[in-house]
Structure 1
């Protein structure tokens, strides 16, 4: 996936953005910004790429993500549930709120591994 950046519409209006770039050395992407209403379509494309890819492990580096809304968390879980057996998403350094949501609502989902390192 090439670099993708999305901002809320409107000339000269600063707003939510999501930047996505490939990770070097492994299958996956580095994501920065906010995962919310204005950037949800970008997040959905990222997750679709992860599901369609052939990697047994797909990395989502989220250390520069500042916010994930409930729809973004739900989309992550839905993507993980569509993975073939034995495949998984490794979510690296997600925002604390996303970690809590995953631990609370989906504690035993084997297709998502949360890594804090």
Structure 2
């Protein structure tokens, strides 16, 4: 299956962080693997924008294979959640600890994000 959101994890100059995103089977959402940072932010923001445009209800973000999300990536998630309408929300499953702390610290009242440890 082709993945329009994938960034290679290595270039000629050596390894670089990458982010791969795949559809979740059986639910609306994606599974991501890698890092969300400067080199992968456009992918992350594209995924979130697509989620905001899609239907209604819950959009799942399975992040158990994501090792790092920078503050700008957390901010993009909070901003996207703020654009959700009519009780919609992101369910973020097993995010990196730093993402959970950043959301709790900077966006504690963001109702559009539900973080699940399981």
**Given that residues 91 and 113 in structure 1 are in contact (C-alpha distance below 8 angstroms), is that contact kept between their aligned partners in structure 2?**
yes
User: What is the number of residues matched between the two proteins?
Assistant: 117
- The residue aligned with 1:35 is 36
Q: Where do 1:14-93 residues align within 5 Å?
A: 14-93=15-94
In structure 2, distance between residues paired with 1:41 and 1:81: 18
User: How many Å apart are 1:11 and its aligned residue?
Assistant: 2.2
Q: TM-score, normalised by structure 2?
A: 0.92
CA distance in 1, matches of 2:100, 2:76: 14
- Verify the 8 A CA contact 1:20 1:31 in the aligned structure 2: yes
Structure 1 unaligned regions, length at least 5? none
Indicate the residue corresponding to 1:105 in structure 2.
106
Misfit runs of 4+, over 2 Å? 1-4, 7-13
> RMSD of aligned C-alpha atoms?
1.7
* Unaligned residue ranges in structure 2 (runs of 5+): none
Residue 55 of structure 1: CA displacement?
Answer: 3.1
